Amino acid sequence: MEEFRKQKPQNESVIRFISPEINKVILRDKSSLYLVNKNNLPIVQIENVLNSGSSYDPAGKEGLAYLAAMLLDEGAGKFSALELNNEFEKMGTSFSISADKDEIHISALTLSEYAERTIELISLVLNEPAFTEADFIREREKLLTRILQIKDNPSLLASGLFNKVLYNNSVYENPLYGSKQSVEGITLDDVKNFYNNNIMLNEFSVIVVGSQSDKNYESLINSSIIHGIDKKAQRELKVTVDAEFSPVIFLNDKANSPQTEIRIGNCTNRRPHPDYFAKHVLNSILGGQFSSRINLNLREDKGYTYGASSSFNYDKLSGEFVVSTSVQSEVTADAIREILKELNNIKKGVTDEELEFSKSYLIKKFPSHFETYSQISSNISTLITHELQENYFENYLDNLLSVQKDDVINAAQKYIMPDKCIILLVGNKRLILEKLKASFNYPVIELNRDGDRIELHQ
Amino acid sequence: MNTHLDINFTKTVLDNGLEVILYKDNALPLVSVNIWYRVGSANEKPGKTGFAHLFEHMMFQGSKHVEKEMHFKYIQEAGGSLNGSTSIDRTNYYETLPGNSLQLALWLESDRMGFLLDGLTQKKLDNQKDVVMNERRQRYDNQPYGLAWEILFKNLFKPDFPYHWPTIGWMTDIENYNLDDVREFFRTYYSPNNASLVIAGDINEKKALENVDKYFRSIEPVNSIPGIKYTDPSLNEDINVVHEDNVQLPRVYIAWISDHIFGQDDAPLDILSDILGSSKNSRLYKKLVHEEQLVQDISCFQYSAKLTGMFIIVATIKPGSEIPEVEKIIFNEIEKLISEGVEENEFQRVINGIKSSFIYSLQNLEQLANQINSYNFFLKKDDPFNYDLKRYNKVRMEDIEKIAFKYLKKPRVKLQIIPQK
């Protein structure tokens, strides 16, 4: 018998890893440039972060930031939409623009030899977008069709409805894409106004990850990417959330659906907060990874689902805790009961073993967050969004190490609220409603796909 | 563009047949361990579909010296990430973890290769059958257009061709899995002489090989591994399928049988697919999304597998448009390409895109390790990264119209997914 098989092997040495140095420079338009030296491949990642996401959409014009982002690269300078795209593609540059609640991101991954040209083109996109009527009409149609398509996807639909109920009456309530009605009402002038008043004037940052020895990115970007000089004071955006819920079930009926999409959760706080690391460890134990309590219970023990997880998600102005899963229709009520049970149990405490496991997992995984050029860029973008300290990554491991059992329990008691949560379901009403009513003493409010309340089942 | 890639690895074969490939890259203190078993859904039999995929679940359920749930826990505790995947041709299992935990990965991989059945129980099987059925519901049955691929493959390949069924298996087959079948499937395919192991990252090659030898040497090979029987997959006539789904927009899939992976026409087919439908400036996108605005999205690709390849076009129809008018334009564009050929600038754009994606793909160790295994399985050539890149350099512009003529004039399957009435 081979004795060595009986025991898990021990590590052979200690890993030394220092996160890459981030060099911050102020550009001549007062924007920030973040430089990271990485040279194992002849490539460079350039990312622009514009503080102009959908939370800046004017009332009734929801979807405007998203549409403006779609339109930014539909022609710029002397190039038409297709010509501009061709300029990027003939270098093999991968270029994209995305928008979220808080920001618009313009990203490019390119071979280093084309870095100058890529920066020139980004500058065009940012400073001289064409915004023609024909491009506007085409992109708005695309967005309207996308809004239609999202409603087909139960997982996206559930997350969207959960967001809407959770952030009722705040700037985060509305879907990034807007609604059919709001997008139909957006004009090209709205897009131009949004560009002039938000995209060009709100806070702006650039990130460059690549070899810093063969090019001077500071001077390249200073002479090319110019952003609005007269920055306006940041608008005070606030997220105020409705009073806590005494659990309410919201249900969107998806006839013939073989599964129910479940979201259970509550609002929490912003990311820059002393409790962040305790919440991070807490979530890892509860539902943040495969071996967490929720996944082991719902998947590996009960077989209700392909997977179940929980997370603390952070936007610039708020945070939320949410459990997400998709379960076979017939076991919907049982799955909800098990999830609520796990939420209540974790408030009672965690074991030493769980704490050590989760800390070990999060700490030892740290180097793998710095593998690709875009991962590094995305890490810096997180610092920008949440206004974290520049030495955040240097202190990351010490912060995790210092989390104690009491911190985790306190965080659970403070931020996990099974008694005041929202339970949002997208599933087959015919199969699940009666059992929901019989199992829980909570009101069931039926929503349509746009999130409007259509019926109350007591 | 300098396109010579400097990726050197060494290959050794153990006495029991296990292929071991080592690649040193110490950019970060990480190591990626990647095992390919030469078994995919093509090795399954009708009535027993989905077994290769079922193993992707059972292999994480513990083995003789590893308790249930501990396979994941050990790797995660070490700061690693792990997963597996199943295709029609192969299954892979992989983990990326700090370089000092290489032995842990080898211990776990060798235990499930050598001793999985000692830890197998009815309870574990029943639990994972439920999980797989829920995976099927979540990823296929409850997704818009989620059944399209299995309907397409079912029609593109006759019942006796081993790509006829989906990798996840038919629901009725999953319900009927039993322990004896699971044991037999494992004994047939999960042996060192049916696998290749790639270790990439921050390693000492000599020590890594000693450890591989320690953990894997004593695992017995199997005598004979059954081959796959198949016949010519050519279509004799067009096949038209219509399927109603819970969707708002119709979608059309047009598929032809093409060339297998690394076959002589595989690279030109790749280029053809990019010219037709990979980006804003590709012909079909430009015509149908940008100019005519009849479709919401369109894509085109060459999906090449071991036994054959498939050339596929997919378009989602906008409200107010109809599949027939879109289809007519697609075929007009194909005719135009065949009769007029391709232009220098579009050809060059596509070649540049392929070359730069090659470089971008080298950023991630896990992806790199998997690519080495893929070359080892499908290509079997020295210096495969450069071989692969060069095959695109060898393609001439005039080859593209010939390839389009050779494959896209043949019978095809057309699948229409339409909104439920």
Q: Is residue B228 part of a domain?
A: no
Q: Is residue A44 part of a domain?
A: yes
Q: DSSP string covering B298-354, please?
A: EEEEEEE-SS-EEEEEEEEEPTT--HHHHHHHHHHHHHHHHHH---HHHHHHHHHHH
Q: Which of A216, A207, A174 is nearest to A66 (CA)?
A: A174
Per cent of chain B over pLDDT 70 is 99
d(CA A427, CA A161): 13
For residue A353, the domain's CATH number is 3.30.830.10
Give the residue-averaged pLDDT of B46-58: 96
Edge-to-edge, what's the strand order for the sheet holding A319-328?
A305-314, A319-328, A259-267, A422-427, A248-253, A444-447, A453-457
Q: Is residue A283 part of a domain?
A: yes
Dihedral, B120, B121, B126, B131 alpha carbons, nearest 10: -40
Q: Which two tokens stand for residue B265?
A: 């026409």
Same domain, A66 and A215: yes
Residues 337-376 of A with CB under 8 A from B: 357, 360-361, 363-368, 370-374
What is the nearest CA distance from B28 to chain A, expressed in angstroms? 7
d(CA B94, CA B84): 6
Which of A9, A361, A371 is closest, CB to CB, to B107? A9
Q: Which domain holds residue A356?
A: 248-457
Same domain, A159 and A253: no
Same domain, B119 and B168: yes
Same domain, A208 and A257: no
Q: Is residue B20 part of a domain?
A: yes
Same domain, A358 and A434: yes
Same domain, B204 and B270: no
Q: What is the pLDDT of residue A69?
A: 98
Same domain, B18 and B111: yes
Q: Which two tokens stand for residue A428?
A: 């087959």
Alpha-carbon distance values, B117 to B90, B177, B179 (Å): 20, 15, 10
Same domain, A268 and A195: no
ipTM exceeds 0.85, yes or no? yes
Same domain, B243 and B121: no
Q: What is the pLDDT of residue A256?
A: 87
Q: Is residue A309 part of a domain?
A: yes
Residues 232-271 of B with CB under 8 A from A: 246-249
Question: HSE (CB half, 13 Å, CA atoms) of A77?
Answer: 13
Q: Is residue B97 part of a domain?
A: yes
For residue B337, the domain's CATH number is 3.30.830.10
Same domain, A161 and A209: yes
**Yes or no, beta carbons of A15 and B319 under 8 Å apart:** no
Same domain, A172 and A296: no
Rounded to the nearest 5°, which phi and psi values hold at A64?
-65, -45
Same domain, B203 and B324: no
Same domain, A147 and A197: yes
A134 interface with B at CB cutoff 8 Å:
no
- Would you call B13 helix, strand, or coil by DSSP? strand
Strand partners, A25: A33
Q: Is residue B231 part of a domain?
A: no
Q: Is residue A13 part of a domain?
A: no
Same domain, A214 and A305: no
Whether residue B292 has pLDDT greater than 80: yes
Same domain, A77 and A194: yes
Determine the residue of chain A that is closest to B60 in CA distance.
A300
Same domain, B182 and B251: no
Same domain, B167 and B308: no
Q: Is residue A1 part of a domain?
A: no
Same domain, B370 and B310: yes
pLDDT 10s per residue in chain A (458 long)?
789 999 999 887 788 899 999 999 999 888 999 999 999 999 999 999 999 999 999 999 999 999 999 999 999 999 999 999 999 999 999 999 999 999 999 999 999 999 999 999 999 999 999 999 999 999 999 999 999 999 899 999 999 999 999 998 888 988 999 999 999 999 999 999 999 999 998 889 999 999 999 889 999 999 887 776 666 655 666 666 665 677 899 999 998 899 999 999 999 999 999 999 999 999 999 999 999 999 999 999 999 999 999 999 999 999 999 999 999 999 999 999 999 999 999 999 999 999 999 999 999 999 999 999 999 999 999 999 999 998 999 999 999 999 999 999 999 999 999 999 999 999 999 999 999 999 999 999 999 999 999 988 87
Query: Which residues of chain B make contact with A255, given a CB cutoff of 8 A?
Result: 246
Query: Are β-strands A259-267 and A444-447 bridged in parallel, bridged antiparallel, or unpaired?
Result: unpaired
CB contact at 8 A, B273 and B334: no
Q: Is residue B226 part of a domain?
A: no
Residues 351-370 of B with CB under 8 A from A: 352-357, 359-360, 362-365
**Yes or no, beta carbons of B280 and A81 under 8 Å apart:** yes
**Yes or no, beta carbons of A8 and B356 under 8 Å apart:** no
| E strand segments, A258-317 | 259-267, 305-314
**Yes or no, beta carbons of A152 and B248 under 8 Å apart:** yes
User: Per-residue pLDDT tens for B309-350?
Assistant: 999 999 999 999 999 999 999 999 999 999 999 999 999 999
Q: Which two tokens stand for residue A17?
A: 């890893």
Query: Which residues of chain A make contact with B352, given a CB cutoff of 8 A?
Result: 89-92
Query: Which residues of chain B make contact with A361, given a CB cutoff of 8 A?
Result: 76-77, 79
Mutate to test the interface with B, among A79, A90, A295, A305 (most CBs of B within 10 A): A90
Same domain, B166 and B295: no
CB contact at 8 A, B31 and B97: yes
Q: Is residue A230 part of a domain?
A: no
Rounded to 5°, angle at Cα A163 from A162 and A166 = 85
Query: Which residues of chain A make contact with B318, given a CB cutoff of 8 A?
Result: 141, 145
d(CA B239, CA B184): 37
Query: Which residues of chain B make contact with A258, given a CB cutoff of 8 A?
Result: 137, 141-142
Domain boundary among B216, B231, B257: B216
* Alpha helix (H) residue ranges in A167-268: 180-184, 188-194, 217-222
Report DSSP state, residue B89. Answer: S
- Would you call B231 helix, strand, or coil by DSSP? coil
What is the nearest CA distance from B229 to chain A, expressed in angstroms? 33
Q: How many domains does chain A have?
A: 2
Same domain, B258 and B175: no
CB-count exposure of residue A441 (10 Å: 0-12, 13-18, 19+): exposed
Same domain, A260 and A304: yes
Q: How many domains does chain B have?
A: 2
Q: Is residue A238 part of a domain?
A: no
Mutate to test the interface with B, among A41, A152, A363, A379 (most CBs of B within 10 A): A152
Q: Which domain holds residue B387?
A: 239-419
CB contact at 8 A, B366 and B94: yes
**Yes or no, beta carbons of B79 and A360 under 8 Å apart:** yes
Same domain, B38 and B168: yes
Same domain, A202 and A82: yes
What is the nearest CA distance from B259 to chain A, expressed in angstroms? 26
- Would you call B193 helix, strand, or coil by DSSP? helix
Q: Is residue B234 part of a domain?
A: no
- Would you call B70 helix, strand, or coil by DSSP? helix
d(CA B90, CA B37): 6
Q: Is residue A6 part of a domain?
A: no
Task: Give the confidence band of B404 by pLDDT, cuts at 50, 70, 90.
Answer: very high
The sign of the dihedral angle between the CA atoms of A4, B212, A41, B345 is: negative
Report DSSP state, residue A113. Answer: G
B332 interface with A at CB cutoff 8 Å:
no
Q: Is residue B55 part of a domain?
A: yes
Same domain, B68 and B212: yes
